Amino acid sequence: HKDPHYVGDRTTMVHLFEWKFNDIAKECEDFLGPMGYGGVQVSPVNENLVMDNRPWFERYQPISYKIISRSGNEDEFKDMVKRCNKVGVRIYVDTVVNHMSGDANPAYGTSGASAKPNELSYPGVPYSSKNFNHPTCTIQNYNNATEVRNCELSGLHDLDQSQKYVRDKIIKFFNKLIDLGVAGLRVDAAKHMWPKDLEVIYKRIKKLSRKAGFPPKSLPYIYQEVIDLGGEAVSKFEYNKTAAVIEFQYGIVMGYMFRGEDNLSRLSSLEDTNKWRMMPSRDALVMIDNHDNQRGHGAGGEKILTYKDPKMYKMAIAFMLAHPYGQTRVMSSYVFDDPSQGPPADSNGNIISPEIVDGKCVKGWVCEHRWPQIYRMVQFRNLVNGEKLENWWSNGNNQIAFSRGGKGFVAFNAEKDDLKQGLQTGLPEGVYCDVITGEVVDGKCSGRTVEVDAKGNALIEILSNDTDEGVLALHIQAKL
């Protein structure tokens, strides 16, 4: 369950947070497929509690496992998966099976069906009181593993996954998604479920659909949300036996680094997982920010970088995509001030589709995945996939550079002094176009160029007063 099953040389997924299925299908065809993205994580697809003012987080309050939400219905979901697979883009679903909704009275779901959360009754599944953990309690002490697993996470009614009946319902939901052609699942709140129950569930999930184009015997990619920054009873290392884990430490380390609050030169030993207490690379899914920590939910706090700090954010993303560690995920957001605020919607609560003008999203959608500095680094990662990290250089402070074999080279300047340095790029001789500031159009570079000599050396310059970019990236496909 640790292989994302990307098509060809693709390496990176994007979380199209709160996007509608029809819009995702179109984005796969128009942009993600042609530009080399490997997959899309979609927001929870199953029926959820309809809440006042439609906050984004209502989607983490399940009412049933029917595929119907503000993103669309089952037919639309099916059509999206098919169209994305067709252009080489895989779909990963955010699944919420630790709990059902919190209390609400009356409570109705996105299909219009009603439930009685206060009585632990969800007829759409159906679940009744006996399927939940008793006695009902609220998680307060993260130093007590049993409490973390068997009590409610902020009042969300906690299912008992040790029951065969509950497991069967969850497996049926997962298998339905697989029949529809998805490549994997994010397991929300995995920390709040017992690893042994999850192992039983994972073992019983189907192989990926042959009809959707997956090789025989492919297991779905499973990446579990286990926030572990150390110092709690539950450890992420309980979860990486057969499936992957989201490495939350990563975005926090990157936040400190690229804000200039820690020393970039220390990143030379990112591979030293003991130093940073990170998952082994093949077990980790990493990101700079996610839908929670970009708005102060979940872990990470104010150190997390987001689209609101574009220069530092683009540097951190470039580092993540240039460095071989982990499976990478790019966040794609909508503009927000209020952390509860849902996606752009009309007065009836229908989500308004992103509109794209000159390649950029407008109408409240940020679409980081369409920023040239980000999608060109996704292409960089695809190109250097499998190449060793080499030619590590640092000034001992906040200027670093490294190459990926002889195919790509990056340099970063996160300090107050200019970077002006002769460096070994590992690249063949030639003139290269920096893909952060431009691209090759009709044989000409629209951004900075760098000349690499016969020995692979080049003069690398990143000025500290550049307000837009603190990173430079070269690769063999952007050679003039």
Of ligand ARE, Ca ion, none, which one does residue 197 interact with (CB within 5 to 8 Å by kind)? none
Of residues 18, 160, 197, 225, which has the active-site annotation? 225
Choose between 191 and 314: whose C-beta lies nearer to Ca ion: 191
Q: Which is nearer to Ca ion, 158 or 188 (CB)?
A: 158
Nearer to ligand ARE, 225 or 368 (CB): 225
Four-CA torsion 138, 141, 144, 148, nearest 10 degrees: 40
Residues that bind Ca ion (CB under 5 A): 98, 158, 192
188 annotated active-site: yes
Q: Give the one entry of ligand ARE, Ca ion, none that residue 81 binds, where binding means its C-beta sits below a cut-off of 5 to 8 angstroms depending on kind.
A: none
- The catalytic position among 23, 94, 158, 188 is 188
CA–CA separation, 101 vs 185, rounded Å? 20
Q: Catalytic site residue 225?
A: yes
Q: How far is the CB of 67 from Ca ion (least distance, A)?
A: 23
Residue 81: burial class (beta carbons within 10 Å; 0-12, 13-18, 19+): buried
Which residue's Cβ lies closest to Ca ion?
A: 192
CB of 9 to ligand ARE, least distance (A): 30
Site of interaction with ligand ARE (CB under 6 A): 57-58, 60-61, 96, 102, 142, 153-156, 188-189, 191, 225, 227, 232, 292, 297-299
Closer Cβ to ligand ARE, 79 or 232, answer by number? 232
Start-to-end C-alpha separation, the chain: 41
Provide, rounded to whole angstroms, the least separation between the CB of residue 212 and ligand ARE: 27
Q: What is the DSSP track for 240-260?
A: TTTSEEE-HHHHHHHHHHHTT
Name the residue nearer to ligand ARE (CB basis): 57 or 313: 57
Distances (CA, A) of 61 to 65, 101, 256, 284, 417: 11, 4, 33, 26, 49
The residue sitting closest to ligand ARE, measured at its beta carbon, is 102
Residue 300: partners with Cβ closer than 8 Å, 6 or more residues away: 248, 251, 252, 255, 289, 293
**Which segments within 43-154 are labelled E, that is strand?**
46-48, 62-69, 72-73, 90-95, 107-108, 114-115
Please identify, using beta-carbon distances, which residue of 162 and 395 lies nearer to Ca ion: 162
Q: How far is the CB of 340 from ligand ARE (least distance, A)?
A: 7
Task: Indicate the DSSP class of residue 215.
Answer: P
- Minimum CB–partner distance for residue 306 and ligand ARE (Å): 15
Q: Which does 158 bind (CB under 5 to 8 A by kind): Ca ion, ligand ARE, none?
A: Ca ion
Contact 100, 59 (CB under 8 A): no
Sequence-ordered strand ranges (E) for 100-217: 107-108, 114-115, 184-187
The C-alpha R_g of the chain, in whole angstroms, comes to: 23
Q: Is residue 186 within 8 Å of residue 92, measured between CB atoms? A: yes
- Closest separation in Å from C-beta 49 to ligand ARE: 8
Give 131 or 294: the residue with its C-beta nearer to ligand ARE: 294
Q: Least distance from C-beta 298 to ligand ARE, angstroms?
A: 4
> In whole angstroms, what is the distance from residue 432 CA to residue 440 CA?
9
Distance between CA atoms of residues 16 and 370, nearest Å: 11
How far is it, in rounded angstroms, from Cα 412 to Cα 473? 9
Catalytic residues: 188, 225
